Chains A and B, each alone.
Chain A
Amino acid sequence: MDYVHFNEVKKMHQVKKHRFLSAFFAFLSGGILGLLSEGMKELALHVFHFSFIDASFFASMILVILASSFTFLGIYNNISQKCGAGLFLPTTGFANSLTSAAMEGRSEGIIGGIGSMMFSLAGSVISVGFFMAFYFGTIYALLNLWGINLWL
């Protein structure tokens, strides 16, 4: 088998990526999402009189609920195909990965299906979260012991 020739031919027919277009749509959708959550935050701050931290939680909660509902309705993957990283990187991508995996596991029951499969895609994000919290928490505690107080 002539792999050199094959690889040449294969390379010739590779679909060209529209990097600029993808980046543009990601920028646009990510920006709109940011604007939306900023609006939510302002709303929570000034209308509902939440504290600053609560208002941030409120905004990301709304995004998560929206992304999950869109996933449930089957619209999310059509939109995300266009938006790419604009929807994938923010918390919406995380919400979608949880919801889609849970929906997929529905047929296997609550424990073996929804419960264990929910984190099949998002699991690594959570694991990294745990480990980072542990390591940085340890460093923070040790520094505190030595009398160095880092107020983060």
Chain B
Amino acid sequence: MAITLTFKNVYVLKSCAVATFEETKGNIGTYLDRIYEDLYAGENTYEDGEIKMCQDALEILFEKAKISPKDIDIAFGGDLLNQIFVSSYVASHYEFPFLGVYGACSTSMLSLGLASIMVAKKMAKLALAYTSSNYGTAERQFRYPTSYGIKKKEATTLTVSGAGAILVTSKKSNIEVSSVTFGKSIDSKTQDVTDLGSIMALAAYDTLISHLENRKQTFEDYDLILTGDLSLIGLEVLKDLLNRKEINHLEDAGTWVYDPKNNKKFAGGSGAACLAISSFSKVIDDLEKKHYHHVLLIGTGSLHSKISALQGKNIPVIAHAIELKRGEES
């Protein structure tokens, strides 16, 4: 059973999201803070490109929040590279204590959840959570070289290139982090790494049901339930598992970023940055503007590696949920 922790004094200070041009063609294009031409972001390698995006996201965030990096009490970060190199490297430019976390594509929610706990327990006044991913580096990490001409299946999801960062604080603001549900790692009993969306639906289902049960809520309490990167197929699987075909406010960030209507890319977007750039831009902005009042973000991740996949191990899947609420005042 997943665990749900409720908070009363954790607020979102500011958030920031950057991505490449390809990600702007979907729903979130107008909400992004900086847009890059390509995966390299003006650098020489994909890895440097991801570092640049991640670093820029932090710099923009500090500027937006009008704080100095020294004010941050603790930071949680993660990405998809081996030994979460990008996040650690970016953190080495700053003074704050850094904890690297890995939750595959659920990293954004995992780091935000941990940051919220630190603030809720009064161990930190200001905590930072950030994550990044890049199509070039992730393909190399988990699949084949980017220019390798193997035929991709329709169920494939493409890694979103970008970075997102968010600051949580104990000082009152408009958006409250009301609760976090950490899910359990579930054995998907499959080895197929080409269709991760539909197996991650299993974890999303488990975490969603546990969250609603623990919080004694229903689907109708939320204006939006946004899953991380289930893709077109995974979202349908989740709706079927929930037995709710008609549920309209259950959406997927992967299809937000790579909109199937005008920029269809296989089954949608995935990757650590997928939910990060969607939620830290559009969702936070819309909460601020009162378009949404109560949002549940579910980050889903598939915790396999290239070696485990080759050795034919079952893929463990996980999902973490964060509940965001628009405050009453102002």
Binding site for B on A (CB under 8 A): 1, 3, 5-6, 9-10, 12-15, 17, 22, 71-72, 74, 76-77, 79-81, 84-85, 87-88, 93, 96-97, 99-101, 103-104, 107, 121
Contact = CB atoms under 8 A, between A and B. Distances in A.
Contacts of A79: 149
Contacts of A14: 155, 195, 198, 233
Contact of A107 (B44, B146, B202, B240): B44
Nearest to B189: A3
A77 B147 contact: yes
Chain B's interface: helix, strand, loop or mixed, by majority? loop
A55 to B, nearest CB: 27
A152 B154 CA distance: 45
B149 A80 contact: yes
Interface in B231-266: 233, 236-237, 240-241
B155 A100 contact: no
Contacts of A100: 144-149
Nearest to A18: B154
B151 A103 contact: no
Contacts of A88: 149-151
A96 B148 contact: yes
Nearest to A76: B149
Given A1-B202, A10-B237, A121 B144 contact: yes
B47 interface: yes
- Measured as residues with beta carbon below 8 angstroms from the partner, the interface class of chain B is 20 to 34
B282 to A, nearest CB: 26
19 contacts: A6-B202, A12-B240, A13-B236, A14-B198, A15-B155, A71-B149, A76-B147, A81-B151, A87-B149, A88-B150, A93-B149, A97-B148, A100-B146, A100-B147, A101-B145, A101-B148, A103-B147, A107-B44, A121-B144
A88 B144 CA distance: 14
B206 interface: yes
Contacts of B186: 1
Nearest to B195: A14
